[in-house]
Amino acid sequence: MRGSVDGLGSSAPIGAMLPAVFADDDLAQRVVAGLDEVIAPIHNVLDCLPAYFDPALAPVDFAHWLSGWVGAETDGTEPEERLRAAVAAAAYLHRVRGTRRGLAEAIRLAFGVRPQISESGGAAWSARPLGPVPGEPRPHLHVTLRLPDPGPADEHRLDALVAAARPAHMPYTVTVTVAERTPER
């Protein structure tokens, strides 16, 4: 925990800044030394402030707070490395939100595996007017996630994630299944 480091010295001791009349005063020096001990953690945080906003360097509790601040798709149960990756990728995910790539990346960061996504949309170009319309007439999105050991909450968590990261107009379904194990040789 920050603030509870025994023997942490202040980067700006107050005793050295006192007027000359207090430089040799033992009581004054002991009083400000007590203040130095109280203020040292604050100076330490301020000296290291840029590191608090770097998800790779921030303390874990601050990274949790940072995930809410930047809108990272986390629920507080992910391992530390996935939390830090989600915070680092939050700005990128906001840029690609509502796209297939953005949805796939958000799911990969949350679960650690790539999903299988099928959708009804399409795009095409034609030099002739009145060509066939690409895609399917009814919009739909289906996400399948294969996990090594799926739990009962995984489908609910995937559903919430897809609901938040999908295109707003798109109806969707989700499925969580057991990943196929590859035979060992």
pLDDT tens figures, 63-94 = 999 999 998 888 888 889 989 999 999 989 99
pLDDT at 2 over 60: no
pLDDT tens figures, 92-138 = 999 998 889 999 999 998 888 999 999 888 778 888 888 788 888 88
pTM of the complete model: 0.66
Domain boundaries, the chain: 113-185
DSSP character string of 45-93: HHHTHHHHTSTTTS-HHHHHHHHHHTT----S-S-HHHHHHHHHHHHHH
Cα 86–87–92 angle (5° rounding)? Answer: 80
**Do residues 109 and 81 touch, judged by C-beta distance below 8 A?**
no
**Do residues 39 and 8 touch, judged by C-beta distance below 8 A?**
no
State residue 4's pLDDT score: 59
Q: Kindly state the average pLDDT of the residues 5-11.
A: 71
Please compute, for residue 51, the number of CA atoms within 13 A of its CA located in the half-sphere on the CB side: 9
Q: Which of 141, 140, 174, 171 is nearest to 159 (CA)?
A: 174
